[in-house]
Amino acid sequence: MLTALKEKPPRKGVYALFEYLDDTIAVIERLRADRDEPQFDVFTPTYYHELEAALGYKPSGVRWFTLTGALLGVTLGFALCLLTDYDWPLVVGGKTAGVYSLPAYVVIGFEMTILLGAIGTILGMLWLGKVPNPKGQIYSTATTDDRFGIFVYDVVEDSELARLLREKGETQVYS
């Protein structure tokens, strides 16, 4: 049974809940193949690569945040070691301060790479995912449990798209 929406949608349309991922993907592909290309939102309990492919998303930009953080980390790690060595030289075995002690800097450089790469990844996920999003809406609590939801904007009750949504899942019309 379709649960009532927690909030009224911003525009009229049809909301459909699906039990199976395959049905949801079939409807998404049908919606994207439509020549009018209706606007729709997809709600899912967790991340699925299949949904990402069906929606036609490109690879995430988070990887650039990770790369930037990692490169900054390795640069700062080696710079920290070099500058510390030049400021307080510790002459061991007759070696002068600086680049001669480079192998010892690899550990610090590696740790800073991991640290700043991870921080960059988290910041990238938050930035690109628009988190926190105070305007975000959950139309049905079932999509936080085990169902998939699609809200198609500006669709009337007796249209072909509404009929397709009714065939595959439970629907509710909001006008």
DSSP letter at 7 equals: S
* Least reliable range by pLDDT among 5-9, 92-96, 118-122, 142-146: 5-9
Please report the pLDDT score of residue 22 as a whole number.
92
Please report the pLDDT score of residue 174 as a whole number.
63
Please report the pLDDT score of residue 1 as a whole number.
45
Res. 115: pLDDT tops 90: yes
More confident residue, 76 or 105: 76
Please report the pLDDT score of residue 2 as a whole number.
54
| Mean per-residue pLDDT over the chain, rounded | 85
Task: Kindly write down the DSSP assignment for every residue of 67-132, as one continuous string.
Answer: HHHHHHHHHHHHHHHHHHHHHS----TTPPSSGGGHHHHHHHHHHHHHHHHHHHHHHHHHHHTT-S
Q: Domain check: are 152 and 115 in the same one?
A: no
Q: Which domain holds residue 160?
A: 13-45+146-174
Q: Domain check: are 119 and 156 in the same one?
A: no
Q: Domain check: are 72 and 119 in the same one?
A: yes
Q: Domain check: are 151 and 122 in the same one?
A: no
State pLDDT tens for residues 122-162: 999 999 988 887 777 777 788 888 889 888 888 877 888 88
More confident residue, 102 or 63: 63
Task: Please give the share of the chain, as a percent, with pLDDT higher than 70.
Answer: 91
Report the CATH number that the domain containing residue 163 is assigned in CATH.
Answer: 3.30.70.1950
Q: Domain check: are 93 and 68 in the same one?
A: yes
Res. 10: pLDDT tops 90: no
Q: How many Å apart are CA 69 and CA 155, to the nearest integer?
A: 44
Task: Please give the share of the chain, as a percent, with pLDDT higher than 90.
Answer: 32
Contact 109, 77 (CB under 8 A): yes
Whether residue 123 lies inside any domain: the answer is yes
What mean pLDDT do residues 77-95 have? Answer: 85
Please report the pLDDT score of residue 86 as a whole number.
85
Q: Domain check: are 161 and 121 in the same one?
A: no
Res. 76: pLDDT tops 80: yes
How many domains are there within the chain? 2
Whether residue 155 lies inside any domain: the answer is yes
- The DSSP H or E segment spanning 13 is strand 13-18
Whether residue 137 lies inside any domain: the answer is no
Whether residue 133 lies inside any domain: the answer is no
Q: Domain check: are 39 and 97 in the same one?
A: no
Please report the pLDDT score of residue 6 as a whole number.
57
Whether residue 105 lies inside any domain: the answer is yes
